[in-house]
Amino acid sequence: MPLPDKSLTATVAFGFLMTLSSGFGQTFFISLFNPQFRDAFALSHGEIGGLYFVGTLLSAIAVIWLGKLIDQTNLRLYTALVTVGLAIACLTMSMVNSGATLILGFFMLRLFGQGLSGHTGITTASRVDARYRGRSVSLSGLGFSTGEIILPFTAIALISTLGWRQSWQIYALVQIIVVALIAQTLLSKVEFTGKRSSDNKLDPYSWNRWQVMRDRRFWKIAPALFSPPIISTALFFHQESLASSKGYILSHWATGIAAYSVAAVLASLVTGLLVDRYSGAKVIRLYLLPFVVAVIVAAYLKIPGLPFVYYALIGATVGIGTPSVSALWLELYGVSHIGGIRALTHACMVFGTALGPAVFGYLLDAGVYWNTLLTGSAVWMVVVSILLNTTNLTYKSPH
């Protein structure tokens, strides 16, 4: 039976809240404090980047193990640990006094924010009745875009008025007083149709994480599914260099990010409807097309409003991915172990996003031109898209 209306609404609201709060651990938000970190601890750009790299990789390792516990733990308890953990992470950032403690702060923010908060929200949203799953995930995922829009303004305002340490203290209070309490209130109204592995350990229709890792299809489709976050992270990280190569100053180029957020929201809403009507497996086949067009446009065209076109196309791919990728994992592998499977895929993605900026940076230092990097990115995505589209994406028994 489908979820009751109130339960479905509460699930979507919970998913939105958790993905929104994940912004405290996202790169776009943490990077706003980089000037203060560098000044306080006398760090170069390379040094702070190295510390962030270490913290991010450690969080990816931890997510592999902690993420799967959502399949085995009471959701209210799991959510309480995640939300309180993120509050402690924010408090830790307000007290860092060296590079070593900065790594700890980065690790905790990336783990409880970018990692487990988003993971909890999307995993919960994906457990609704299959008829509503696409819309549930797409609406919950709007928290990511909302955070990208509103959190930078709050950070800039608080840093300029109160200072960076006090800003993190306020975020810790918001996380405890607002996010944690509202999350628990919403969960009291949530009912699930799908059982977690703790409820049905012998479910013959759901794959566990080790079975997924032995499935050849997973490794065929993974490059296509993980390429957009890896490449987009590298492009965002080096956007000043890209803007300069196209004759823009960064402030003008970055205005296009507004188009990214709008396109991501619209694409996610439309994709959610399409997933519910057709399936994630059918919709995902178009996943990379906007991104391929984006990098080709940036490489070879000089048109008015180039940053807006470029970022809007990337945002479209991101918006398509949120509901369709989540639905695909459920369609291929079942619901009982989805938390553990999502934790595995998230860790793979985080490893890639940590390496992407470093690889692009090395190539730029070696004298590789942006046209070559963008063309190479397009060719790569075409190849992995062909691999995705030639893979059987229908469910089969794990036994």
pLDDT one-digit tens code per residue, 167-190: 999 999 999 999 999 999 999 888
Per-residue pLDDT reduced to its tens digit, 30-63: 877 877 888 888 887 667 777 888 888 899 889 8
Per the prediction, the chain carries an average pLDDT of 86
**What would the mean pLDDT of 182-199 be, rounded to a whole number?**
70
CA distances from 167 to 150, 176, 340 (A): 15, 15, 34
Listed by start position, the domains of the chain span 1-194, 205-390
pLDDT of residue 198: 43
Burial code (b: 16+ CB inside 10 Å, e: under 16) for 307-336 equals bbbbbbbbbbbbbbbbbbbbbbbbbbbbbb
Residue 205 to residue 208: CA distance in whole angstroms? 10
pTM, two decimals, is: 0.77
Per-residue pLDDT reduced to its tens digit, 54-101: 888 899 889 888 988 988 889 999 999 999 999 999 999 999 998 889
Q: From the CB of residue 187, how many other CB atoms can be counted at a distance below 10 Å?
A: 18
Per-residue pLDDT reduced to its tens digit, 119-136: 999 889 888 877 787 788
| More confident position, 239 or 389 | 389
Contact between 198 and 364 (Cβ < 8 Å): no
**What would the mean pLDDT of 351-366 be, rounded to a whole number?**
79
Domain covering 1-194, topology: Growth Hormone; Chain: A; (1.20.1250)
pLDDT of residue 5: 64
What CATH number matches the domain at 205-390, 3.20.20.70, 1.20.1250.20, 3.30.160.40, 3.30.300.30?
1.20.1250.20
Using pLDDT thresholds of 50, 70 and 90, give the confidence band for residue 399: low
pLDDT of residue 204: 55
* Segment among 176-180, 194-198, 347-351 with least mean pLDDT: 194-198
> Of the candidates 26, 13, 9, 16, which has an alpha carbon nearest to the alpha carbon of residue 146?
16
Per-residue pLDDT reduced to its tens digit, 15-35: 999 999 999 998 778 877 877
Residue 59 to residue 119: CA distance in whole angstroms? 13
Same fold, 1-194 and 205-390: yes
Residue 352 to residue 399: CA distance in whole angstroms? 31
Inform me whether the pLDDT recorded for 155 exceeds 70: yes
Q: Is 184 exposed, middle or buried (0-12, 13-18, 19+ CB in 10 A)?
A: middle
Inform me whether the pLDDT recorded for 3 exceeds 70: no
Inform me whether the pLDDT recorded for 251 exceeds 50: yes
